[in-house]
Amino acid sequence: MYDFMLTDVEQAVKREVREFVKNEVSPDLIKAMDKDEIKYPRDYVKKLGERNLLGLRFPKKWGGRGLPWTAEVAAEEEIGVLGCALGCAYVMPSIVGEAINTFGTDEQKKKYLIPLLKGEVVSAEALTEPRGGSDFFGATTKAVLNGDHFLVNGQKRFVVAASEADFFLVFCRTNFEKNASPHNCISALIIDKGPGVEAEYLYGLLGCRGGGTGRLVFRDVKVPKENLLGELNMGGLIFNQTMIPERLTSAAASLGAFAALNTALDYSTKRVAFGRPIRKFQAIQFMIAEAITKLDAARALVYLAARAVDMGEPNVRRLVSEAKKFATEANWEIVNKAMQIMGGIGYTDVYPIEKALRDARLSMIWTGTSEIMSLLIQHEYYREVAEEMGEYRDFERDAIGGDETEKCFTDEDMWKVHEQAPVS
């Protein structure tokens, strides 16, 4: 609808993905996944790979199309109508691929990135632990370097494709010095499925079913030293980099709320109450107006963030966090309104609105909760304003001891940030 904001190439990709969604993804697959009859949609990923639709922005050399991030976001908007599980299967190569493409060696790219983008193998990312997901730098899964390999022990949870993935991007603690900064303690490893890597529990979920979301346990897993991504103890950099596609894709997929809105719109023209189509009632008209306004605002912010990443803007972290928070919350509100407009039938599985609502709830939690996005947004803004005023001080380093962080802030830390911020 707003394709004038996109280049010809980006528009063409968007149309291509829309056709794929319409013609290649059967509603039966979506229903079977929602019933948990399927643990991971491998065939769907394979088809996407065969059409060269995975990881569109990666260099052609490694199997991408060398397109801008904005093109990928346009593709994800279309994929978003399929819901969280198929959306996640689409974007996982983009997220895990970001770590490999940016920090990996050529050998790692040949071995993992190329088959990933062909859809021949499935990857998963394992950050969250039973002890918590928001406090990334508190990770306790251990990887002890022992000659030519790491010995990995620990647990991750809520890992999509826990039992199905062929390899995992795993963030582990590798520095055990007592006084080490948390930002110099984590490393990223590629861990192949194999002995000692077990998916020990698959969760029953409100939405996003069919992706095999589980708890992953590592018991004395021997990981070759060459599977370290980037430098030892510098996993925080990789985490920050992967959060760009992770959060941008959550935001972009949330724009798929247009499908729920359009279903409600169509319904409102046909459903008659008190002798007239319900679209004639102002209450319905206002809900439609609010929903489309929210969607437009979300779309503008998501594409702004994507363009900012393409152009190497310095305030990317704030814009991506804003887009993630705003678009996922808009998704929830829009789908909720769509359900209200449709009355009782919207709550049944006759229409896909109830599934969209269950999925929408997740998008405000995963890939960083709305609260964590708020922390990042305000923090980055303080920093930007201070820089603009020529009074740069590294607030975050002052406050919590590092600038590559997403560590939990305590209330006390927050006040330190406030005290140091310029007052204008």
Ligand X SMILES: Cc1cc2nc3c(=O)[nH]c(=O)nc-3n(C[C@H](O)[C@H](O)[C@H](O)COP(=O)(O)OP(=O)(O)OC[C@H]3O[C@@H](n4cnc5c(N)ncnc54)[C@H](O)[C@@H]3O)c2cc1C
* Interface contacts to ligand X, rule CB under 6 A: 124-128, 132-134, 158-160, 205, 208, 213, 362, 365-369, 371-372, 375, 408-409
Please, what is the minimum distance in Å from the beta carbon of residue 63 to ligand X?
22
Please, what is the minimum distance in Å from the beta carbon of residue 210 to ligand X?
11
Closer by beta carbon to ligand X, 223 or else 261: 223
Q: Rounded to an integer, what distance in angstroms lies between the CA atom of residue 6 and that of residue 25?
A: 25
Q: Rounded to an integer, what distance in angstroms lies between the CA atom of residue 268 and that of residue 284?
A: 8
Closer by beta carbon to ligand X, 134 or else 175: 134
Please, what is the minimum distance in Å from the beta carbon of residue 157 to ligand X?
7
Please, what is the minimum distance in Å from the beta carbon of residue 84 to ligand X?
7
Q: Rounded to an integer, what distance in angstroms lies between the CA atom of residue 106 and that of residue 101?
A: 9
Please, what is the minimum distance in Å from the beta carbon of residue 85 to ligand X?
9
Q: What one-letter code names the amino acid at 161? A: A
Closer by beta carbon to ligand X, 180 or else 206: 206
Neighbouring-strand partners of residue 234: 186
Please, what is the minimum distance in Å from the beta carbon of residue 267 to ligand X?
29
Closer by beta carbon to ligand X, 264 or else 360: 360
| β-strand pairing of 167-173 with 186-192 | antiparallel
Please, what is the minimum distance in Å from the beta carbon of residue 391 to ligand X?
26
23 exposed, middle or buried (CB, 10 Å; 0-12, 13-18, 19+)? Answer: exposed
Please, what is the minimum distance in Å from the beta carbon of residue 263 to ligand X?
24
Alpha-carbon dihedral angle through residues 41, 372, 257, 279, given to the nearest 10 degrees = 150
CA distances from 231 to 70, 226, 402 (A): 29, 11, 17
Look at the block and give the residue holding tokens 């269950």.
358
Please, what is the minimum distance in Å from the beta carbon of residue 121 to ligand X?
16
Q: Rounded to an integer, what distance in angstroms lies between the CA atom of residue 1 and that of residue 253?
A: 16
Please, what is the minimum distance in Å from the beta carbon of residue 176 to ligand X?
22
Closer by beta carbon to ligand X, 207 or else 346: 207
Closer by beta carbon to ligand X, 181 or else 213: 213
Closer by beta carbon to ligand X, 360 or else 372: 372
**198 phi and psi, to 5 degrees?**
-125, 135
Closer by beta carbon to ligand X, 65 or else 358: 358
Closer by beta carbon to ligand X, 166 or else 310: 166
Residue nearest ligand X by beta-carbon distance: 133
Closer by beta carbon to ligand X, 253 or else 375: 375
